[in-house]
Amino acid sequence: MREIIFDTETTGLDPLKGDRMVEIGCIELVNRVPTGQVFHAYFNPERDMPAEAEAVHGLSAAFLADKPLFAERCAELLEFLGEAPLVAHNAGFDFAFLNFELSQCGLEPVCHSRMVDTIKLARVRHPGAKLSLDALCTRYGIDRSHRTQHGALLDAELLAQVYVELNGGRQIGLELAGAPAANVVAQVALVTRQRVYREPRPHGPSEAELAAHAAFLEGVKAPLWNEGAAN
């Protein structure tokens, strides 16, 4: 099964109030294993960058000034997304910006039936716990020491690991991105090889043990298990 983990960075919180997407990072998973295929792009928002947003992701208006418009890379992005489910943390936020940018290009929005929200998954798995990406990385022992600021591709990489954990645990292959195919096959075969059947060990008493037990019982005076036997 093919899935896309993605994250966005923006100028603010609401595209309907003039905020725009400035970065998107996407990672391809097949059967919950990263394939090494990614899509990453910065976009010129054609507006200023509020200080509070820049403090979160570090993307200044000057840095983005020479980056392409969303429309210039839209077709490439849609080709990468394909028809796969789209996984994001607080996915409604990212879908709102993605679909707003698509609408600005005169294109159909991505259907919400493709949305997978890892916050909702985490809420079911860990009710009452902190659900931020940082908190989930800490819970699952995922190294985020290099995450000094938000970044769409970096956050998507971390979320891919969290997503696998939320679905049952880290699987073989998560550390195998870029490994030769022969090595991957060999390691998968090592994990999934058929176990050798062994006959169960006998646990019945030996003749000597039965004799010793009978002798012991003969020495017990007025055993409780004989009370009422005559009735």
Q: Which residues are catalytic?
A: 150
Residues 6 or more apart whose CB falls under 8 angstroms from that of 42 comprise 22, 23, 59, 63, 64, 67, 68
